[in-house]
Amino acid sequence: MENKVLASLLFTFLMFLATVIAPVTATPIIPIATTILPPMLVAVLSIIGWGMGAVIAFIVARRYGKPILARFVSLEELEKYEKKIPERLGFLTLILLRMVVPVDVLSYAIGLVSSMRFWPYTAATFIGITPFSFIFAYSGSAFFEGRFALLLFFAGGGVALFAIAWYSLKLRLR
């Protein structure tokens, strides 16, 4: 039991840290974590770690701006996203962005350039990261258990969801 609690805390912290210190990614450890923890727990912990990291990144960008951000992210990477994010970012648009763009740099860019308020940002972030947290966790679990039909189901669902979100986002940003 102690090892599972420690593993849960460490995993959540790594997800958080990878979001705050961009462009480090913790996504590959999601499937691996399912070898120690149940996939439902891994998905929930991913949501918590990614979500908390995204909120901190948003706050840092909003309060301190580019001089501080240079310590955490590549300014070139940040500027790439800045150009694509409308200043008046809608709730649904942010949910779709969360499904298509990595959590880390996007969180800083939104905090820096958008006028979105904190609570709508937080809600849209948690909603947007939830589907892929479950897809990555259950895909990883299926892979390590050798359940390849189930892996194909989750992977195919993930690809379909990504394509739908990407297409919907393209339509909204026109």
Q: Quick one: pLDDT at residue 102?
A: 81
Interval 126-135: pLDDT, tens: 999 999 999 9
Residue pair 117/36 in contact by the 8 Å Cβ criterion:
no
State the chain's mean pLDDT as an integer. 88
Domain that holds residue 88: 2-172
Q: Quick one: pLDDT at residue 76?
A: 76
Mean pLDDT across the stretch 152-171?
94
Alpha carbon separation from 169 to 9, 42, 77, 118, 130 (Å, rounded):
34, 28, 20, 21, 17
* The residue type at 109: A
Range picked from 115-119, 136-140, 168-172 for highest mean pLDDT: 136-140
Q: How many domains does the chain have?
A: 1
67/161: higher pLDDT: 161
What's 127-153 look like in SS3?
HHHHHHHHHHHHHHHHHHCCCHHHHHH
Contacts of 40 (CB under 8 A, 6+ apart): 137
Interval 11-20: pLDDT, tens: 999 999 988 8
Mean pLDDT across the stretch 26-32?
88
CA distance 77 to 21: 13
pLDDT at 85 over 80: no
pLDDT at 163 over 60: yes
pLDDT at 125 over 70: yes
Range picked from 24-33, 65-74, 106-115, 151-160 for highest mean pLDDT: 151-160
CA distance 149 to 173: 36
